[in-house]
Structure 1
């Protein structure tokens, strides 16, 4: 069904721009030709983000009935812990809220339900391209940018980096743009004082909590209302802020979307029912509930009398760094793989920059004669920049502390 929806999109919009990639503008018709010229895919396709080729890999894989796994351009190929169900067309490979990477299986009906819901609820249009400053390989970017292009013909403008000057230059070539982004990027643009001049028709924020201060400051200085969006990798879109004025409650993540039902499940965790819920994981865990249209999140909250979802906490183990989920276990494994430490413990502490949410901290016990500088250098060759710890300690006395005490020790080190 996904490929047939793509063919219908191409029929309706063949001569219209599909992807703006620097100086290159690829129409839907041209993109369709590149897809058809691609040799038949195997049973598994790795689609690496970073350019027009990402879309070609993705769509040609669906044309051939392949299972597609979107990943970052330089990321290692993921290893799944089980074979996917026969109807699987997409695997989201993500650490999620648990902090340990695993694959999430989707069929085409689930992806179509998510993409259609987002376009309808956010009012996305073929006349207003999506500016891609977030990763298209991650669930947020995939749902908000990739699916609207394939299912509805919403063009995509690729930004190589979200730096203010680069974004200004890109925006100068467009009359209107929709921008799904994360709080740390919105704050950088606000500090650079470029927002008032940008042709932003729709501003969306997700991936990390959006502070009331930032939302209010952006509105006051530029007139742009940043709209909170909440979803998960496992079930796609859940809620969206449709209000025209800045929020007054930081826990407000918008009204629950049509076709989505949210209730309180075990341990106070939010339980979501919708037609976009995934088939399941490549490796299930004891406290999982995913499948048959139902997903038990790791977030805690409630739906108030106005149908507004209030998000008040999480029971997850991932570290949320400026909208990216970082697995502590992955960083610990990379530290041990250097051969320079006897043991390592990785965790998050609150960031002084609220739009970053958390910062990665590492407690290590070095091997005799090894230096922390060498460890940092070696680790930088094994992890992405955003996965590297910002705070380091090597004190032997800290290993006896519990996690809460350890976090305090990193946040408030003694003189």
Structure 2
């Protein structure tokens, strides 16, 4: 079992398809291995060594997937969101100490401006006319060649920043061995084989798409059809072309797919999925059930985070529990006391330990001291999530510790309120959040999106909640919106939502 990105690709037949895209020929495993060697040589010629850091800013699609896979075999990759502004790029490139940045041929936007400002070498991913999906060559300025040599399993393969909602983003280095372990865990929990094909709709600057869709598929010798990102309007057309056996997405994407599923019943029948996967945010039980009925396939909810190179828990293919993120699926998962460094029974902070877990935040001893602890020779990472295991070993989350609403000393789980409101026939999406309150400290509020053609008033929604929840848990304020603000990866964000909606003074 290889513990590097290179070892992921090693055992698969030359001619087997690896990377596809709309209207393009497939890149085979042989082609991907040849591309990896070519990219290694081009990086060295341009002065990039095995421990150097390469930022990647490419549109979502096959070249973004192969740039990550090939560069990670020869250096450290740092994928960045293509929609950042120049100052954001300047911050991240400087923070990462990037040696070079890979941009699409002809891209002279904000990432290019930031790289020039910082004197960082720009390498162009040039795609030849008619090239198979994901094939490119790197072109850039002449530089002092870097020494030959390849990263070891203890070198960093991937660097991502945590999405700091209230503080400066933290740098998460993931070793070659972390990424390889996580790819293996996901492939095992989904029983992936070379016959499986993932249709990727996730952004590839984010851990979910990079590891669950791309790396796990390659680990299993399967194939990945890389769309240009998520678009509910063309999802079923893509499905028809790609003929996938599965896809992985965040709950808001699954919900958008459901709204168009009725008129695409023929495609669903013609392209049967083996399973659907959901991760990166809590999947409402009602949505899981609807997806299962619509696609006639298991809906496997998984639980992941950047510090774990994505997956920590996953529902089983033979048993899915709505409202649970599944059983430990790779690392050891336990419950710790929220302030003391000890493992407990019952409800507490979810902690993990295993080969996929980052060795620690870079240059941040305070965060490491706060988030890591050792017990009985095992090093545990505090996830910041609160939850408990049921008698079958399935983990049920109650929410992020910092998102738990403290209403005058009464603790309210926003996920519990979400689950109740999702039963209202007129509600399509909901996010429960804390609203600052002068006496109680925090009050319960909810933002909702109604189903097309349906109506409900704030009063009706509150009454619906009051019939089903203890009085202190029912939202005092309900905001009806056309759309709930989301982060870059499609997640609805609870923290800071009161400020975003103009219901509270900025902190």
CA shift for structure 1 position 114: 0.9
The alignment partner of 1:352 has SS state of: strand
How far did residue 100 of structure 1 move?
Answer: 4.1
1:230 to 299, 303, 308: 303
- In the TM superposition, residue 54 of structure 1 has moved relative to its aligned partner by 2.3
TM-score, normalising length from structure 2? 0.59
Higher RCO, 1 vs 2 (CA within 8 Å, ≥6 residues apart):
1
* 2:389 pairs with one of 303, 323, 331: 303
Partner SS for 2:43 = coil
2:333 matched to which residue of 1? 261
- Taking the TM superposition and a 5 Å limit, the aligned residue runs for 1:15-414 are 15-24=15-24, 25-38=26-39, 39-41=42-44, 42=48, 43-49=52-58, 50-64=60-74, 66-75=75-84, 76-77=88-89, 78-79=92-93, 81=95, 87-95=155-163, 100-193=168-261, 194=264, 196-197=268-269, 198-235=271-308, 236-242=310-316, 244=318, 247=321, 250=323, 252-267=324-339, 268-282=348-362, 283=364, 284-285=366-367, 287-289=370-372, 293-316=379-402, 350-353=446-449, 399=505
Partner of 2:419: none
Shift of 1:259: 4.6
User: Does the 8 Å contact 1:183/1:206 carry over to 2?
Assistant: yes
What is the distance in 2 between the residues matched to 1:57 and 1:217? 36
Aligned-pair RMSD on alpha carbons?
3.8
Count of residue correspondences? 343
Q: Report the TM-score, using the length of structure 1 for normalisation.
A: 0.71
Unmatched tracts of structure 2, length 5 or more: 99-152, 340-347, 405-413, 416-427, 430-443, 452-486
Aligned partners of 1:92 and 1:103 also within 8 Å? yes
Question: 1:98 touches 1:317 (CA, 8 Å); kept in 2?
Answer: no
Q: Does the CA contact (< 8 Å) of 1:71 and 1:93 recur in 2? A: no
Q: Is the 8 A contact 1:133 1:160 kept in 2?
A: yes
**1:174-233, CA deviations, whole angstroms, 9 ceiling, x for partnerless residues?**
444211111111111111123644532120111111111112223334423321111211
* Structure 1: segments with no counterpart, 5+ residues: 324-347, 356-382, 404-415
Distance 1:68 1:162, change over 3 A: closer
